[in-house]
Structure 1
């Protein structure tokens, strides 16, 4: 697990606040399966943006699949695009 994925898992666990630990999150399970609703999804994006100094638009929530792995890959692709610009 890389730093991006670890950060997404950590922020998700904090946002859910249901006792789920960072290591309990399966990177390939849909985030709605963990109880992520629209309000918590916005909190997840804001927390990830702050933690990784990234800019994520609301369309990020339309990623398919919306999983820790999918969001992490999206973040890494944004980082690569910024590096090329």
Structure 2
């Protein structure tokens, strides 16, 4: 399965963002349970973060991202890219 990367930038105040962090983490655990091998985190020096995951296609990756609570609640702007790994 191809890997995808969601690079995000926060667009709401931290108290608003923090309301959805638990739901986002639960969503990532659900993706892991479904076999998407998802990982999520945030930048130490900047506002925003990244999630990597596997999906069958760009279209499926977009559907996965659309269901992320951070996206559904308009907490972040994001870019979605297919990540072509050249060496593991």
- Calculate the TM-score normalised by the size of structure 2: 0.33
- Richer in strand (by share): 2
- Richer in helix (by share): 1
Using CA pairs below 8 Å that are at least 6 residues apart, which structure has the higher relative contact order? 2
- Calculate the TM-score normalised by the size of structure 1: 0.34
Structure index of larger Rg: 2
